[in-house]
Amino acid sequence: MNSPRLNATLELIRDLSDDNLVRQVEEHWASRTKPRHSLGKLESLLLHFSLIQGVPIPRLERKAMFVFCADHGVTQEGVSAFPSEVTAQMVANFLKGGAAINVLCRQFGIEPVIVDMGVRGEAQPGAVNLKIAEGTCNFAKGPAMSREQAIEALETGIELAGEAARQYDVAGIGEMGIGNTTSAAAIFSACSGLDPEETAGPGTGLDPAGLAHKRMVIRAALQLHRSATDPISILAAFGGFEIGAMAGFLLGAAAMRLPVVVDGFIASSAALIAKSLAPAALDAAIFSHCSAEPGHAAMLDFLGVSPYLNLGLRLGEGTGAALCINLLESSVRLYREMATFDSAAVSRESH
């Protein structure tokens, strides 16, 4: 049973295809001083962005990166190369401006928004405190969260997306949470039926023995939670308050036609939940890159989406999404600022 707020959001999500708008964008590109389709994926990226905004001349000035942070009880099983206290330490680093995502946000003029969805300890000044609990439970022993908490995480993301749609032209979503590649892999296996051998990778740097153990933990948990078959029960079983919030953000953004640039493996697992709840939700999502985390390529294939970058990244934080926002801004500037053949007195191609 979904909540009224969640159901109302799902009802607002529509297919964003628009043949007339596609024609307008293609005609605009064709009038610029370049051979047809010579900007390749930049042209398709611009078209996608225009379709989300629903306008032939899209605007991209106000940019934000939402970094959702939370702890995971499954770290008790030794599935990460880093201890769980690193989550809170990295939140402090984000707030001081010292992390990789801060550097990229400064370079590209993106506003970072650090969201505490469930980091252990007191919320840190400067973070948006939306903490549901101080980390999820250990899903190797029982559900990571209650169904009510899963819905709360989704609704929190929906609310944030609504606020973002009033402030920004585009938003990226990234994350931080020690143990969250384990949750993401478990969600992927639960949604796809794939064995953890295909969905789980080394995360923050597990050695082969550690990776084998991680896969064993996920495999046992899938059996423990085999009754979890709908998207909310899967989210509740394997958890991640930050994953639930990102899924809700994608739903809310689709309802509000806010373009969202999705980061890597963990953010894409949130897209699995969002798509399961509303297939058209991903019309408003731009998938930034294919992570070096081994299961990400398979996850993107399962989602039926194509990323724009493949740089061997596996940091998270929204770093791939920030790079893609910069690429998106380049496509918008080219589309809006290039001269036409007529204005530049340049001859058109003859065929």
Helix ranges, 225-310 (H): 231-238, 241-256, 265-277, 295-303
Q: Catalytic one among 43, 293, 317, 329?
A: 317
Q: Assign residue 138 a region: left if phi > 0, alpha if psi is -120 to 50, beta otherwise?
A: beta
- Report the DSSP beta bridge partners of residue 113: 66
Backbone angles phi, psi at 120, to 5 degrees: -65, 140
Which H, E and C letters describe 87-130, residue by residue? HHHHHHHHHHCCCHHHHHHHHHCCEEEEEEEECCCCCCCCCEEC
Distance CA 51, CA 291 (A): 26
Which H, E and C letters describe 258-276, residue by residue? CCEEECCHHHHHHHHHHHH
Backbone angles phi, psi at 121, to 5 degrees: 95, 180
**131 with 71: CB under 8 angstroms?**
no
Backbone angles phi, psi at 193, to 5 degrees: 85, 0
- Report the DSSP beta bridge partners of residue 262: 173, 287
C-alpha dihedral (184, 190, 192, 198), degrees to nearest 10: 60
Counting every residue written for the chain, the total comes to 351
Place of tokens 């999502």: 285
317 is a catalytic site residue: yes
Distance CA 69, CA 180 (A): 10
Output helix, strand, coil percentages for the chain, rounded to the nearest 5.
55, 10, 35
**120 with 214: CB under 8 angstroms?**
no
Q: Coil, strand or helix: which one is 287? A: strand
Catalytic amino acids?
317
